[in-house]
Each structure stands twice: as structure tokens, then as C-alpha cells.
Structure 1
Amino acid sequence: MLRRVTAAPHPAPTLFISNGTAEDLIGARLAGLLPGKIRYSPLVGEGRAYAAAEANRVGRVLHLPSGGFPFGSLNNLKADLRAGLIGDSLGQWSDAVRGARGTGAVVVVGDAYALMVGSVAARLNHLPLIHVQPLLSAQYLDGLNLRGALQELNALGANLPMPYELRLARGADAVFVRDAATQRYYQRRGVPARFAGSFAMDVLDRPERELNLPPGRPVLALLPGSREDHRESLPVMLRAAALLPGVTALVAWPHDWEAVRLPDGWTLEIRSDAEALATGEGASIHLLRGAFGAVARAADIAIGTSGTANEQLAGLGIPVVAFATSGPQYTEGFARRQGRLLGAALRVVGADPVVLAAEVRSTLGNGSKRAWAALDGLTRIGPAGALPVIAAEIERLARDKKDARR
């Protein structure tokens, strides 16, 4: 007797909602672990990271002058409002609701705002909601006094979850947070949150290529970041590196070569799409594109004005020296918050090449200081391993919801 063979049903698509460069990257890596098609709704920018997951974008694109930090400063907020923040943002809500139709689950990677959008999309479409919160950490509260809290009123929701965010999180089917301290903080407030590993370390690439570095010299990673802060910070970093002749400095450059801003009197030689050489003040410093993993893993110390990159270096046990910019991201308030997050792994100093070079020199020459930095970085960031756990949970929830409908 012939039996009819029924083909296994294809899994329903999954909708990702994310709002930031790092959030897009985490979402894209997570999407790559899931079967079935992927849709994504980027609330800030174009969500280019999802291209690697062969995902389909739903909804409009919102380009913000602040790069997604409207409350980083009053100027950021004014610029974003002029760019259509309110009207386009409201449109994205309806885009997300429509994009969730026919999917198996809604995955939010981002902050409270992204969670609001995702909660509406999931509820109106009767879908499981998974929240991946890579931004908040209970460690932001370490050493935060009343004066500090008043200085950072504009970033209150970046220091700790607001009551409305906790209420939304309680309504999610699964919540994953960035560290063990935050898991405890959420659970004490009735949110069944899980820490399964560090998202930042999950998205840190392995070395992309050999760097062929000179032996016996410490390596200084320069991390100007993916935001527009690099226009201000890269020249300062290069001048600091020029004051460290016994150190090999490498710039992990995430932008086009046209975006490079050099100190006065410096020149840039573009050698290929992947490498350029900045020369000035007696120094020659390589800028490398598409080699962040290689630079990060080769470094002995870093100077950074970046969010995720600074945390990834700290998570590797590498001390990071930082300085505030005028924004849009790495402002004085952001630097203070990251300092509380990373503890001894991050040292924030003035935006002065001489001061930066002195701090690098001091750290490299002090074994005890490097050991404390490594300990704090490794323990506060934690190991990789979250994304496979989250992917399995998304599949389970989508399957359970589908079975319940039968």
C-alpha cells in the first residue's frame, strides 16, 4: 500500500523589532540561528545588519541625526524632532503591526520604546513576544548617588527600567537580560528574566584575518565607534597614539574612508578597501576595515568612544581608556554610566592626547591595575552563549502557540 507523504510544514516567519546599531547586529545574529524566513522592522536607521540573514524589511526607515539617542542631549532631541521623529515614529507602530501578520513570534531587541512597539504588534496579532534587553544593567546603579542621578535625569530610563517597562516585560513570554545582576534585579520585581550569556560577546567576531604585527610590542586598539562621535574622537586618539612610540596602534574603522577626520597636518594613504595608513607627528597608524574581531583579540589595551566595542574589549579582559565627546552617543553622561557598568575595566579621562597617552602608559606598566581591569571586565560582562538559548526558546514558543491554535 502506498502511503501519502506529507511534507513538513515550513516554520512561520519571525518578526524582529530593533532600535540601534548594536541591537540590529544582535537581532541579525539571532535571526541567523532560526529556521524560516525573517522580517525586520528597524526603528532607527536601515537595519543593514539583517542583510546577512536574508531578511525582508517591513515599514519605513527613520534616519535620526542623533543616531538613536534623542535624549542624550537637548540638541539631539531638537535635531531629531526637526527630522520627523514624532510623525515617522507613529507610522512605524502601524508598520510593525502589519509586519507581524502571518508570523510565528515577535522578537524585540532593544529598549522600552522598542518593547512598546513589539508589545502592540504581538498582542494585536496574538503572537508570543520575546524581549532581548541588551541595554539596561543593574550595574549602572553601582555608586550612583543623588547628585549623579540628578545630573542624568535625561537618561533616567537608561540607568534602570521604568515601572512601565517592567509592566510590559511581565507581559512578555520570555525576557533575556545582559548580565546576572540584571536578572536578579528584574526577578525581584516580578519579571521572570533570564541571563543566558553576554549578547555583546556573542556578536564579537573571530579574527577576520592575520594582522602580521611586529613582535614584542604592546597593541593599542583605537575604537572611535560607529556613531558620529568618531569625527571628534579619532583625531584625539591618533595624536595620543603618536605619543606612544613603543606601542603598535590599530584603528578598528567601521565607516567609509571618506568619513575619516585627521588631525591638522596628518595625511591618509588609502591602500585598499580594507586598509589605510594615517601619518603625522612622527607616527604611522593603520586603519583597518572589516577587522574588528582581529584588532580586539590582538589588543593589550584600548582607547574607545564606543558603546558595544568598549564593552566587548572589557569582556575580553582588556582595559579600556575612554573620554567624553560632544555626542551624539559618548557624552559625559554616557561615559559615566559605562564607567559604572565596567568598573575597573574602564578609565575615563580628559579628551587630551597627553592625558590619554599617560593613562595608557601607566596601565601597561602596572600589572595589578591590568589584573583588576581584567577581572571586572570578565565578570561584569560575562561569557558568550546567549543567542543559541534564545533561538531555541523562540522556536519553542512559536511552536507552542501554533499547537494551541489547532
Structure 2
Amino acid sequence: MSDLSQLSSASHPQAASSRLRLLVLSNGHGEDIIAVRILQELLRQSNPPDIFALPIVGEGHAYQQLDIPLIGSVRTMPSGGFVYMDGRQLMRDVRGGLLQLTFTQMKAIRRWVSSQKKLGNKRAILAVGDIVPLLFATFSGAKYAFVGTAKSEYYVRDEVGLLSRKSKAARWENFSGSVYHPWERWLMSRRRCKAVFPRDALTTETLKQWPIPAFNLGNPMMDGLEPTFSSQQFYSHDTQQQEKVRPLVVTLLPGSRPPEAYNNWEKIMIAVSALMATLQEKDSAFYASGTVVFLGAIAPSLDCNILAQNVKSQGWQSNLESPVQLPDSNTLIFKQRNAYLLLTQKAYNDCLHLGDLAIAMAGTATEQFIGLGKPAIAIPGDGPQYNPNFAEAQSRLLGASLILVEQPEKVAKAVHSLFKDPDILQTIAENGIQRMGKPGAAQRIANCLQELLG
């Protein structure tokens, strides 16, 4: 039995009635993963709750690793959850049965709360995501807590003040003094709302202006990213000399949703080719070793063979060795002149930690890379997720750490500008950690939930 299975064995409803029954609501694949990280820590507590779940968007596959039972109907909508990007996506979901599904899920939540009440069990709800699970939790009749993953004050302001925006409509985002609108704050300030966990300190401090029980405990998105190697392994001795001769490592993040990710990959490969052309220049200030390694962090949902075909079409040849070793025996390795390109679906964390910078067209992966204190260069795609609107919003969220370029050919110029200025790299390192938080948030949130709800 795996460690996760052992942990989850306590989550079935045969436990004593004195235990808390916790229902988790989440609305998206990323939100499911964040919820599961918190639940893993809850299940490690001395008196863990009995846990149930209802993924509002998608089918909640992440909950399967903890063997957590689902209490109601689940379905993947045509938009995949990206309705806020495009009104047309919302209409597709409505035609696909969104309203009926929402009504059914709300009934399932109230039925679950009612059944636990009849049995005399302690009951609570953990909502993870945006206003949708928060709304469901508020009208469930049970006490609840909220992990706000979708909004941050960094979308509209930084520590200095409000961000300059071109669109007059953008003022709507902050019309009431917070990125969280009055109706959302009302939901978070109800008596049955016991805790709100915003994603960063700036948002927490803003919400504390109102009677909202906000706690600054960090962002679970930065948990579980430990690499397989140690810094001592990477730099065994004479660190300064090894830094000079080691290859430049560029992490490639195309996203995880097909077919969009395949289109993103084509743009990324154009950027790679343009960057390689400029790296041949002898006056490059950061290319001392003469070698560059591109690490493609490929989601399991994608077909590596499709990506490999595109790589080969750009003139790369299959190769057996690389200056960078990954803990994935199925890694595909390609070589072109003094450059190597690796495709892996099992070494995501190592790809994040090894990269000096990233060429990114992803949501969560880009934020995690920047949270490690590193710069990323983003190319807006054609959507439905990583489109120009999403990329522009992400650049506000991540500040100086994310550099937007309009065309893939412009990535090379952005890379050269970055490495000519050591001060900006230091600023980026500090900025990423400040905006994304330090690891350990899931455990801190779990401890707080156990104290306030259990």
C-alpha cells in the first residue's frame, strides 16, 4: 500500500462520530491539486477528518490518489473551466448542460450537509478556487473555510500603489478598493466563514480592512516541488568556476491542455531557433560554456511523439547523451550544434529547478517557476487558456519576473537583456518569492483548519 493510500484509509466514513466530516469543493484541475495537497496534510493530523469531495469543474481525478469519495455528479464542460476568458465559452457550457449540472451539485451539497446533521456529525466545507465554490459553501448551511486561488491584489496593485492600466473597463476590477468585489467579501465575512486563505500577503492585508478572517499562510502551489538532486550534487566543488563553465539551461513550458499545448509548442520552437541563432555570437555575456540545454517539461496529458516531430522538423537530431541528466529513462534527447533539447514527462520538478530561465506559455507551471525566483519569458498564444488577455493578466500578477513578448522571435532579445543586468536578476529572484510565497503552505493551512474547524 502506498503512503497516500495509507493516509487516505482514515478518510472513509466508518470512523467515530466525534470526527469532523469535511466536504471539499473545488472548481478546476489546478484547484483540485491544491485541495489534495492540503488534504494530504490534514490526513497526517492526529485526529484527521473524514473527507468527501465535489469537483465543480471537471471530473476530479486528483482526488483519486487519496481515494476520496465524490458526493455528486461531475462532468467536463466544453470550455474546460476557462469561461472567464471568453463569453462564447460560457455559452458553450450552458448548451452543454452547465445550469442543470450546477443545480444538481447544489442539491448534492445541501443533501450531504443535511444527512450529516441528522447523524449528529460535526460538518464543515472547504471551498478552493473562486466565487463559485465559495457561493456553494455559503449557502450550504455548514461552517466553511475558503482558499482563494483565483484572485490576487497583484492583478491591480503592487506594494507601491495601483497599476497603470490602458483600458477604462479595467477600473472595474478594483472599483471597491479590492480585487475581491463587495459580494465576494460579503460571502467571506459571514459568521459561518471561519477562515480565508488568500494566495499572498498583499491580498491578505487588503482583506483585513473588512471583518474577514484572513490568514497569510502562503500559497500551496509552491508545495511539492522538491528536486531529486541537491545543490551539493550540482556544485560539488569550486562553485564559481563550475558556474562559469556549466551550460545555460532554458526550461520550456508549453502548458498541459491539448490541442492548445501543441500550438504553443510550435511557437516555443520558433523562439528556441531564434535564441540559438543569437547564442552563436561570440560576445554573448552569459554563454561562456558554449553549450545550451533546453528542458521540455511535458505534461502527461500530451503526446511526446507529436512534440518530437516538431523538434525534428527544426533540424534537431536524436542523441543518446546530454550534459544534464534527468531521472526519467524515457527522456527524449536531441542535439543541434552545441545545443541539446530534452523532452520529459516525469521530471517536472527537476526541470523547474535546473532552468536558469523559462520560455513559458502555461498557467500554473509559469507561476511555480517564477516562485522559485527565476525569470520567465512568455509568448501569448491563441487560447483558450494562454491567450493575450490571460498572458497580460499573468504579467500583472507576477510583475517583473514575467517578461511578455509579442512574437516568438523576440525571445532572444529579451534573454540578452536579462543577462546583461545582474541587478534585475536579483530583483526578479526576490519578487518571485514574495509574490508566490515559501513552501509549506499546505501544512500551515491544514493545521489552521484543524484548529478552527475540528
Coarse TM-score class (shorter-chain normalised): 0.7 to 0.9
Deviations 1:85-144 (A, max 9, x none): 2221222211222344436321011101110012222x1xxx320111122111111254
Is this contact kept in 2: 1:19–1:109, CA < 8 A?
Answer: yes
For 2:154, the equivalent position in structure 1 comes to: 139
For 2:386, the equivalent position in structure 1 comes to: 330
Q: How many angstroms apart in 1 are the aligned matches of 2:371 and 2:297?
A: 17
Identify which of 111, 118, 123 aligns with 2:130.
111
Q: 1:373 to 1:66 in 2, by over 3 A?
A: same
Which stretch shifts more, 264-273 or 278-287? 264-273
For 2:247, the equivalent position in structure 1 comes to: 217
Is this contact kept in 1: 2:194–2:453, CA < 8 A?
Answer: no
Q: How many angstroms apart in 2 are the aligned matches of 1:179 and 1:139?
A: 9
Secondary structure at the residue paired with 2:25? strand
For 1:226, the equivalent position in structure 2 comes to: 256
For 1:4, the equivalent position in structure 2 comes to: none
Is this contact kept in 2: 1:316–1:378, CA < 8 A?
Answer: yes
For 1:30, the equivalent position in structure 2 comes to: 38
Identify which of 67, 79, 83 aligns with 2:80.
67
Identify which of 271, 294, 298 aligns with 1:249.
294
Q: 1:336 to 1:29 in 2, by over 3 A?
A: same
Secondary structure at the residue paired with 1:13? strand
What is the correspondence of 1:173-322 to structure 2 with a 5 Å cutoff?
173-202=194-223, 204-208=224-228, 216-228=246-258, 229-245=260-276, 246-258=291-303, 260-261=306-307, 263=310, 265=313, 275-277=330-332, 285-322=341-378
Following superposition, the deviation at residue 343 of structure 1 comes to 1.2
What is the correspondence of 1:45-124 to structure 2 with a 5 Å cutoff?
45-100=58-113, 101-102=115-116, 104-121=123-140, 123=141
How many residues end up aligned between the 2 structures?
386
Is this contact kept in 2: 1:67–1:328, CA < 8 A?
Answer: no
Q: How many angstroms apart in 2 are the aligned matches of 1:72 and 1:132?
A: 21
Q: How many angstroms apart in 2 are the aligned matches of 1:128 and 1:193?
A: 15
Q: 1:146 to 1:317 in 2, by over 3 A?
A: closer
Is this contact kept in 1: 2:328–2:347, CA < 8 A?
Answer: no
Give me the TM-score of the superposition, normalised by structure 1. Answer: 0.84
Q: 1:222 to 1:182 in 2, by over 3 A?
A: same
Q: Give me the CA root mean square deviation.
A: 3.2
For 1:404, the equivalent position in structure 2 comes to: none
Q: How many angstroms apart in 2 are the aligned matches of 1:350 and 1:146?
A: 18
Q: How many angstroms apart in 2 are the aligned matches of 1:388 and 1:27?
A: 12
Secondary structure at the residue paired with 2:300? coil
Following superposition, the deviation at residue 199 of structure 1 comes to 2.2
Q: How many angstroms apart in 1 are the aligned matches of 2:104 and 2:204?
A: 33
Is this contact kept in 2: 1:227–1:328, CA < 8 A?
Answer: no
For 1:14, the equivalent position in structure 2 comes to: 22
Q: How many angstroms apart in 2 are the aligned matches of 1:209 and 1:98?
A: 48
Q: 1:166 to 1:58 in 2, by over 3 A?
A: same
Q: 1:168 to 1:347 in 2, by over 3 A?
A: same
Q: How many angstroms apart in 2 are the aligned matches of 1:201 and 1:318?
A: 13
Deviations 1:176-229 (A, max 9, x none): 111111011111133221111222212x4212479x999711211111223343
Letter in 1 for 2:200: D
Q: 1:385 to 1:235 in 2, by over 3 A?
A: same
Secondary structure at the residue paired with 2:139? helix
Identify which of 189, 203, 214 aligns with 1:170.
189
Is this contact kept in 2: 1:67–1:227, CA < 8 A?
Answer: no
Secondary structure at the residue paired with 1:57? coil
Q: How many angstroms apart in 1 are the aligned matches of 2:451 and 2:432?
A: 33
Letter in 2 for 1:161: Y
Is this contact kept in 1: 2:319–2:334, CA < 8 A?
Answer: no
What runs of 5+ residues in structure 2 fail to find an aligned partner? 1-14, 43-47, 117-121, 235-241, 277-290, 321-326
Following superposition, the deviation at residue 231 of structure 1 comes to 2.5
Is this contact kept in 2: 1:274–1:288, CA < 8 A?
Answer: no
For 1:379, the equivalent position in structure 2 comes to: 434
Is this contact kept in 2: 1:152–1:333, CA < 8 A?
Answer: no
Following superposition, the deviation at residue 304 of structure 1 comes to 1.3
What runs of 5+ residues in structure 1 fail to find an aligned partner? 1-6, 400-406
Query: What is the percentage of aligned positions where both structures have the same residue?
Result: 30
Is this contact kept in 2: 1:38–1:54, CA < 8 A?
Answer: no
Q: 1:132 to 1:256 in 2, by over 3 A?
A: closer
Q: 1:392 to 1:198 in 2, by over 3 A?
A: same
Is this contact kept in 1: 2:156–2:174, CA < 8 A?
Answer: no
Secondary structure at the residue paired with 2:32? helix
Following superposition, the deviation at residue 155 of structure 1 comes to 11
Give me the TM-score of the superposition, normalised by structure 2. Answer: 0.76
Is this contact kept in 2: 1:300–1:318, CA < 8 A?
Answer: yes
Q: How many angstroms apart in 1 are the aligned matches of 2:106 and 2:16?
A: 33
Secondary structure at the residue paired with 1:193? coil
